[in-house]
Structure formats: C-alpha cells, structure tokens
Amino acid sequence: MTASNNSSHPQQWAMWLKRSEAHKYISVADNTFIKRYVKTGKVKGYPTEHGTRYNRDEIDEAVRHYYD
C-alpha cells in the first residue's frame, strides 16, 4: 500500500472561479477575500449567466502585490 501524496497530483483550478472557489484558491476566508481583494478593487467580479466569476490571473496578481 502506497501513501497518498497530494503534491504529486496538484489540484487543477479553472480560469474563472466562483466565489466559493476563489477564496479557497488563495487559502483565505470568504469574508477576507471579499474585504481585502474585491472591495479594494484588486480583483473584479465579472457577472455571467451562471453568477459572478473571478479571474484566476487577477487573483494571482493581487496576491503578489498584497503589500503595495
């Protein structure tokens, strides 16, 4: 029996994330994601026919420049 290792099979993230996925993507609470990233304008929500979606690349950029 082999041990399961998550690093050998990283989770794939879609380009457009729902709010419930977006905060998990950067490992913060939902309220923190909205307060620190969305309300400050670092990450924009894009309305679609399936609800608001957040761009993964914008989230990455916002995290890189968190202290700016």
Closest C-alpha to 21, from 43, 4, 41, 39: 43
Tokens representing residue 49 in the block: 């026919």
Q: Which domain holds residue 45?
A: 14-64
**At 55, which CATH number?**
1.10.10
State the Cα–Cα distance between residues 42 and 58, nearest whole angstrom: 8
**For the chain, what is the domain count?**
1
CA 66-54-7 angle, to 5 degrees, is 70
* Residue 4: inside a domain: no
Higher pLDDT, residue 9 or 32: 32
Dump pLDDT digits (tens) for 15-42.
999 999 999 999 999 999 999 999 999 9
pTM confidence score? 0.78
Contact by Cβ (8 Å): 50, 11: no
The answer to the question of residue 52 being in a domain is: yes
- 44: which 2 tokens? 């924009």
